[in-house]
Amino acid sequence: MKIFISSKVPEEILEKLKDFEINYHDSFKTLSKEELIDGVKDADILLCPLSDKIDREILESSDSLKLVANYGAGYDNIDIEASKELGIIVTNAPAPSSAVSTAELTFGLILASSRRIIEGYKDLEKGNFNGWKPTYFLGNELRGKTLGIIGMGNIGKNVAKRAEAFEMDIIYYSRTRKEEIENENISYKELDYLLENSDIITIHTAYSNELHHMISEEEFKKMKNSAILVNAARGPLVKESALIDALKNHEIKAAALDVYEFEPKFSDELLKLENLTLAPHLGNATVEARMEMGNACVENILDFKNGDTPRNKVN
């Protein structure tokens, strides 16, 4: 069987696939659609990252392609309807460490925004630091603040666990209520209540078309002027232009992004905002999480090779 691997993967994962005939794009450079089409033309299996947009045209371009193994838990980068019609199996790669890693990154963004760490670094870099002063770069404690979590899946639950350690009050909104996690510190609220009453709002819901721009102009107007928004889920959940306006007009205090509406592209305006912390999609970028994902991909591929239904089939 032939595998086309369209992005650099850990060497340990590559070694586990050595019995296959491999066409390996050993680079972080994202391939163009034309290059992806060329890569899958005679491949039985495509192993690809979330950053590859695998649309109908790519799927239809190969008569041999039978499996797309996505290196990531999400799979909104793949045309699932087209894959069903063409009889191509799509698998994802869930990993317990992914939720932990993304929750930790989320708290890094929350702390950076609340304590203005990036702003402070930039001010120091400009030579403006002249020693400790009573009112220089004041931020806010997390203790006693209300954290609003949108999406209480595995990542949301891990964020809530860490927020409890910071003595925060936690409210959450999820399309499916999770009563088993509720206690004196964690309570379910409707989305409007969460937007209006949270000091910090963090998004962890899975992306679907109906949730496109779930945070837009109307939602920003409901938030506190002192609120901080964190998005470490999917970029299109937040309307980027509305976020820029909300930060410029001080409708909210600050924001932190790990994902972008038009990723990997983003507006230059984002770089100009002092009250915005940016990260290059590092949510589950840990050795532990990426190895678990890679091993899940290998398991899916070996299941397929052995004639079994891949354990993480999503279509």
What's the mean pLDDT in 268-286?
95
Quick check: is 314 in a domain?
no
Q: Looking at the predicted structure, is the pLDDT value of residue 301 above 90?
A: yes
DSSP reduced 3-state for 95: coil
What's the mean pLDDT in 90-117?
96
What's the mean pLDDT in 239-244?
98
DSSP reduced 3-state for 33: helix
Mean pLDDT of the chain: 96
How high is the pLDDT of residue 74?
A: 85
**Statement to judge: residues 91 and 108 lie in one domain:** no
**Statement to judge: residues 272 and 290 lie in one domain:** no
Share of the chain above pLDDT 70, in %: 100
Closest CA to 186 of 223, 159, 208, 154: 159
Quick check: is 229 in a domain?
yes
Q: pTM of the predicted model, to two decimals? A: 0.88
Q: How far apart are CA 226 and CA 246, in angstroms?
A: 12
Catalytic residue numbers read 234, 263, 281
**Statement to judge: residues 59 and 48 lie in one domain:** yes
**CATH number for the domain including 31?**
3.40.50.720
Quick check: is 313 in a domain?
no
Instruction: For residue 236, give the DSSP letter.
Output: G
What's the mean pLDDT in 76-93?
97
Contacts of 61 (CB under 8 A, 6+ apart): 37, 40, 41
**Statement to judge: residues 191 and 118 lie in one domain:** yes
Residue 171 to residues 77, 105, 201, 265: CA-CA distances in angstroms? 30, 20, 10, 32
Half-sphere exposure of 112 (CA within 13 A, CB side): 22
Contact 112, 200 (CB under 8 A): no
What's the mean pLDDT in 114-129?
95
**Statement to judge: residues 175 and 212 lie in one domain:** yes
**Statement to judge: residues 215 and 123 lie in one domain:** yes
**Statement to judge: residues 90 and 101 lie in one domain:** no
**Statement to judge: residues 178 and 248 lie in one domain:** yes
**Statement to judge: residues 104 and 44 lie in one domain:** no
Structural domain of 60: 2-95+286-305
**Statement to judge: residues 64 and 149 lie in one domain:** no
Closest CA to 301 of 67, 124, 123, 80: 67
DSSP string, 165-225: HTT-EEEEE-SS--GGG--SSEEE--HHHHHHH-SEEEE-PPP-GGGTTSBSHHHHHHS-T
Quick check: is 311 in a domain?
no
Q: Looking at the predicted structure, is the pLDDT value of residue 281 above 90?
A: yes
Quick check: is 315 in a domain?
no
Q: Looking at the predicted structure, is the pLDDT value of residue 194 above 90?
A: yes
**Statement to judge: residues 165 and 134 lie in one domain:** yes
- Enter the tokens of residue 114: 């609340």
Quick check: is 112 in a domain?
yes
Exposed (0-12), middle (13-18) or buried (19+): which is 131, by Cβ within 10 Å? exposed
Largest Cα–Cα separation, the chain: 69
Please report where in the chains the tokens 């109906």 appear, as a residue. 210
Quick check: is 142 in a domain?
yes
As for how many domains the chain has, the answer is 2
CA end-to-end distance (rounded Å), the chain = 22
What's the mean pLDDT in 133-161?
96
Contacts of 209 (CB under 8 A, 6+ apart): none
Q: Looking at the predicted structure, is the pLDDT value of residue 245 above 90?
A: yes
**Statement to judge: residues 79 and 163 lie in one domain:** no
